[in-house]
Amino acid sequence: MTLSCKHVLITGASSGIGRELATLFARDGYALVLVARDLAVLGRIGEELTRVYGVAVHVIAQDLSRPNAVAEIYHELKRLSIQIDVLINNAGFGTYGAFADADPAIELDMLQLNIAALTQLTRFFLKDMLAKGEGRILNVASTAAFQPGPLMAVYYASKAYVLSFSEALANELRDSGVTVSTLCPGPTQTGFRRRARMEHSRLFDWGVMDAATVAAIGYHGLMRGKTVIIPGLKNRLLALIVRFAPRRFVTATVRMLQDKTSAVLPS
C-alpha cells in the first residue's frame, strides 16, 4: 500500500458521482476518506480501490442528515491525525411532488443534508486548509440551482443555496491558496431518480449523462480551480438561457418538464 501525503474526503461515496470521483482520486494516488450510510458497501469499495490503486482508504458510515454527524466525522479524523486536503461535498437527495403534500420530516432531512451538513463540513475543514495555506473544495449542486423548480421546490432551493454559498466563498478565498468549485450536473444516471420517486417525470427524457463522465468533468474543473463547472453543452446552454428568459416562463417550463408522463422505468 502506498502512502499518499494528500487526503480527499468524499461524501455520498457509495454510488454515482461520488463513487466515480473516488476512483479518479485513487488513480492519482490520493488517500481516501469515504463517507456514506452503508458501511458494507463502503468497505467493498475501499477494498477494491486499495487493491487496484494501492492507496489507503478510510471509510466512515454516517448519516449526514443527523445534526451531530459532521462533528463526529471531523473529530474522528483529528483523532487519527488525518488532515483533509480536498473536500468533496457530494451527498444529497431530492424529493418529488407538490410542497403541500410532502412529508415535512423527509424535507427537513433533505435540508440538513443538502445545506446544513455541506456548510458544516466546509466550515470545519476550511479552517485547517487556511492554516496550511492550500486546499480544494468541491460542492456538488445541480443545474436545478439556476431556476425555481415546481414539484421539487425545496430541492431546487437547496441547490440554489449551494451555488450561491460556494460562489461567494470562492470570492472570499481569492489568493488564500484554497479554491472552491461548484459542480452543477444536469440529469445524471445515478440512484437519484429512484430515490426522489421521479420515475414518471419528463425531466429525464431530455437526455441523461453517465456518472463517470460528470465526475471526470468535475474532477478536472476542480483541479483547474474553476468556480462553476457545468457538464455538457446542453446543460451549459440551459444555464445561460435562464438568465435572460422571463422568470415566469422559466418556472412554467420547469413545471412542464417536471410533470409526469406515461413512461415507466424498467424494473
1: nearest Cα among 59, 49, 44, 50? 50
145 and 191 Cβ atoms separated by less than 8 Å: no
Q: Which string of DSSP letters, residue by residue, matches 183-211?
A: E---SEESSHHHHTT-TTBGGGGG--EEH
For residue 133, the 8-state DSSP code is: T
Q: Are the C-beta atoms of 32 and 1 separated by less than 8 Å?
A: no
* Location of C-alpha cell 494528500: 6
As a whole number of angstroms, the distance between CA 4 and CA 31 comes to: 5
In the chain, the amino acid numbered 247 is R
- DSSP 8-class letter at 81: T
Give the number of other Cβ atoms within 10 Å of residue 199's Cβ: 15
Q: Known catalytic residue: 74?
A: no
C-alpha cell at position 104 = 415535512
- In whole angstroms, how far apart are CA 52 and each of 23, 27, 45, 82, 99? 10, 9, 11, 22, 45
The contacts of residue 93 (CB under 8 Å, 6+ apart) are 110, 113, 114, 192, 195, 196
| Residue tagged active-site, from 53, 74, 155, 156 | 155
Neighbours of 153 (CB within 10 A): 17
Catalytic residue positions, numbered? 155
